[in-house]
Amino acid sequence: MDLLHLNDELNIVGQAKKYGIPLWQHPQFLFLVMGVIIILSSTLSYFIGRRYITDPEVVALFVIVLTLVLLVLAFIIAKSFEKLAEASRLKSEFIGIVSHQLRSPLSNMKWIAELLASGKNNHKQEEYFQMLQENSTRMQELINDLLMVSRIEEGGLALKKKEFALQDSLSEVISSLQPMIRAANIILKVETEGNPPKVFADPRQMHQVLDNLLENAIKYTGRTKDAVLKDGARDRTVTIRLKKEARHLRCEIEDRGVGIPQEDKKYIFQKFFRSTNALRHETQGSGLGLYIANSIVKSSGGKMGFRSKEHKGSTFWFTLPIARQ
């Protein structure tokens, strides 16, 4: 564990805020209190033992065993509190994200439908229908993601694996994201070493993984307006690299965007997690994309990870098994 990570673990007040629980219910705080109680009770039992047991070695053994038992108990209790706090955080984030991400497109649709029904601004009908379509797509995507999460949790992620070229899926994803790439002024670079070998995975699911990672890289590079106002002229390059490793193909997607704050890094692959930093830049998102992408890659026999620095950018990567020739 690096020093910065240790610092996050020890920031009990910050963590209590994140979990949304009072300090006295925080697992690490309880663990500290229990530690103090253990030290006091061990000292006390040492003095009592010395008074009633003549052999000092028996006293020492008694105190050590008692301390160990109490420590193990304290650890188990603190761990179960941690799980409860985590479950409570997930529940409130689930409710917050689902209600917000469903309510806002739904209110937009109601408002557009009212405008259409009123017959005013008839010349804008085409624009209104397009907005209706965009909002219903947003809702549909969230519902699909929620269904996918429930399938993953029930262990029912059925992958139809076959041999295919990942760069073909990549080209499809890039062309479907062209409007977003253009709107965000992104300079997209694809770097491949020679002719990348075919992989063995589910092409449809890998399409979703690539789509999520690339969409995030674009979204979290930030809007041009924000970048000029807050970050000066931000580099708007997104680079995709395909590299062959011993038995895997590695895909990296690097951006120079908002990056991820150190204290949020450990939560990034958890479902419904959205970093405060990202929320400031991008209001749309469910915090499910990376959880799903990571589960798909793991079930395909690969790994996923990232490195990131706040305000500097992020590189998300994953590996997939190379198909046997």
- Report the interface residues with ligand ADP, using CB under 6 A: 212, 216-217, 220, 255, 257-260, 268, 273-275, 278, 285-291, 314
> Residue 74 or residue 217: which is nearer to ligand ADP going by CB?
217
Smallest distance, ligand ADP to C-beta of residue 260, A: 5
Smallest distance, ligand ADP to C-beta of residue 268, A: 5
Strand partners, 109: none
> Residue 199 or residue 213: which is nearer to ligand ADP going by CB?
213
> Residue 39 or residue 190: which is nearer to ligand ADP going by CB?
190
In angstroms, the CA 99 to CA 176 distance is 28
Going by C-alpha positions, the residue among 89, 110, 42 that lies closest to residue 70 is 42
Smallest distance, ligand ADP to C-beta of residue 29, A: 27
Q: Which residue in the block uniquely carries the two structure tokens 């305000």?
A: 311
Smallest distance, ligand ADP to C-beta of residue 282, A: 7
- Joined together, the tokens standing for residue 294 give 């990571």
Smallest distance, ligand ADP to C-beta of residue 16, A: 21
Smallest distance, ligand ADP to C-beta of residue 17, A: 17
Asked whether the CA dihedral 120, 121, 122, 128 is positive or negative, the reply is negative
b/e for 43-70, b at 16 or more Cβ within 10 A? eeebeebeeeeeeeeebeebbeebbeeb
> Residue 26 or residue 236: which is nearer to ligand ADP going by CB?
236
* Rounded CA Rg of the chain: 26
> Residue 59 or residue 149: which is nearer to ligand ADP going by CB?
149
In angstroms, the CA 146 to CA 130 distance is 25
> Residue 255 or residue 263: which is nearer to ligand ADP going by CB?
255
b/e for 241-251, b at 16 or more Cβ within 10 A? bbbeeeebbbb
> Residue 200 or residue 269: which is nearer to ligand ADP going by CB?
269
Smallest distance, ligand ADP to C-beta of residue 216, A: 4
In angstroms, the CA 237 to CA 312 distance is 12
Smallest distance, ligand ADP to C-beta of residue 228, A: 19
In this chain, which residue has its C-beta nearest to ligand ADP?
285
Smallest distance, ligand ADP to C-beta of residue 85, A: 20
> Residue 100 or residue 110: which is nearer to ligand ADP going by CB?
100
In angstroms, the CA 268 to CA 290 distance is 7
> Residue 49 or residue 257: which is nearer to ligand ADP going by CB?
257
Alpha helices by DSSP H, the chain: 3-10, 12-19, 27-52, 56-118, 125-153, 166-176, 178-183, 203-219, 224-230, 276-281, 289-299
Q: What is the dihedral of CA 107, 130, 279, 271, to 10 degrees?
A: 80
Going by C-alpha positions, the residue among 286, 293, 144 that lies closest to residue 209 is 293
